[in-house]
Amino acid sequence: MISRRLLVSILAGCSTRAGLRAGTPVRDGRRSPEQSCDYHAKATVLMLSVPLFTRGNVGGGYLRVEETARGAESLIRIEFGAGSNPERAAGLNRFGLFEEAIVESRGELARAAYFGFMTSSEEKNLSQARSALASGKPNGLTAIRGRIEAGRVWNRLLRLPGPLGANWRRIGELSGGIRAQLDAAPGSDPEVTGASKPWTFLYSIRHAMRAPSDRGERCFVHNGELYTLRVVSQRDSSYGAKAARSGIAAAEDVVAMTGHIRAASGRNVSTFRIWFDSSSPQPVPIRFDFSPRSFLRLSFERSGLLA
């Protein structure tokens, strides 16, 4: 579940330390059923974009989405966690958690708070990845927290040593200690300059999945940096047939959304694809693919989906 602390920070006015007046919190209202999905992951190793081999069950993940509405405002809570299974991933131990709490007003982000952490990974190619695995050196963590209000963004980033024995199935246990270290760090959260009413990343994805248009563009903030997300969606009856066999969605309702992320400098950062049921009023991914490195493609598919 999304932490009570994150929700309190936004509903009580997380921006007061920056001298802004706290917004009016969303009080108890109509709560939609929680959207909850578990995923299993497969990895494909690439050489010059050519697949060398694929291995299944190398990791997993989960997504939780809750929404409470009252009048023109809604409180949306999104939590995503994922990571690798070292015993299935040649010893690779990578994991991360990200939480967002958003107050939405008339279909737009009014204010938000976010928190997350993930293992650091400096490998740029397959050779460096092999060397990192052979060294057995534990990975450090990068932790962030931030808030958005009135189009302004404050973000704090902290680099921490990785706890011994930590893995993605224990990320919930790690959250409290990492939050405490972020709180204890000296100084105030620096403001992100150049922002023009950016959104958070997970909320931007959710909004794009629910949009009636098959194309969209949105500025978002992540790790204190500004990015542009462009999406193009189209129906995918081929993958839809697989979802239909599992009773997850009608084949004709499955849409594949391709997202392109570009940095503020214009540099292309990454591309991903998400498949979802377009007929659902609260869609969540059935599958999503992305490449964290040029030599690696990860595919997360909803658990229980038939082959």
- For residues 221 and 100, give the distance between their C-alpha atoms in angstroms, rounded to a whole number: 12
Q: What is the mean pLDDT of the chain?
A: 85
Contact 145, 184 (CB under 8 A): no
Pick the most confident of 90-94, 158-162, 203-207.
Answer: 203-207
Higher pLDDT, 116 or 193: 116
Task: Read off the tokens for 243.
Answer: 């979802």
Strands, E, within 161-279: which ranges? Answer: 191-192, 199-200, 215-222, 225-235, 254-263, 268-277
Contact 115, 6 (CB under 8 A): yes
As to burial, measured by CB atoms within 10 angstroms (0-12 exposed, 13-18 middle, 19+ buried), residue 71 is exposed
- The whole-number pLDDT of residue 126 equals 58
pLDDT for the residue numbered 170: 86
Residue 1, pLDDT > 70, answer: no
Residue range 246-274: mean pLDDT, rounded: 94
* Partners of 80 in beta bridges: 63, 98
Residue 246 · residue 277 · CB < 8 Å? no
- Work out the burial of residue 134: count CB atoms within 10 Å of its CB; fewer than 13 is exposed, 13-18 middle, 19 or more buried: exposed
Element (H, E) at 288: strand 285-293
Write the burial class of residue 87 (CB in 10 Å: 0-12 exposed, 13-18 middle, 19+ buried): exposed
% of the chain at pLDDT higher than 70 = 84
Residue 2 reports pLDDT greater than 60: no
Mean pLDDT of 282-290: 95
- 186 pLDDT exceeds 50? yes
Mean predicted confidence (pLDDT) in 233-237: 96
| Other beta carbons within 10 Å of 170 | 13
Highest mean pLDDT pick, 3-12, 121-130, 164-173, 226-235: 226-235
**What is the reported pLDDT for 187?**
81
Distance CA 130, CA 46 (A): 13
Average pLDDT over residues 6-18: 41
pTM of the full structure: 0.85
Token pair listed for 306: 């038939």
Percent of the chain past pLDDT 90, that is, above it, reads: 55
Four-residue CA torsion sign, 108, 110, 113, 119: positive
122 compared with 3, residue with greater pLDDT: 122
Residue reference for tokens 């794009």: 208
pLDDT score of 269 more than 50? yes
CB 85 within 8 A of CB 58: yes
Q: What is the pLDDT of residue 19?
A: 28
243: left (phi over 0), alpha (psi -120 to 50) or beta: alpha
pLDDT mean over 138-167: 88
For 39-48, write each residue's pLDDT tens digit. 999 999 888 7
* The pLDDT of residue 64 is above 90: yes
Buried b (16+ CB within 10 A) or exposed e, 21-59: eebebbeeeeeeeebebebbbbbbbbeeeeeeeeeeebb
* Alpha helix positions (H), the chain: 4-11, 126-135, 171-184, 201-210, 237-245
Q: What is the pLDDT of residue 136?
A: 56
Looking at per-residue pLDDT, the higher value among 293 and 180 belongs to: 180
- Residue 70, pLDDT > 90, answer no
Nearest to 204 by CA among 268, 114, 84: 114
**pLDDT tens readout for residues 108-151:** 999 999 999 999 876 666 566 666 555 556 678 999 999 999 88
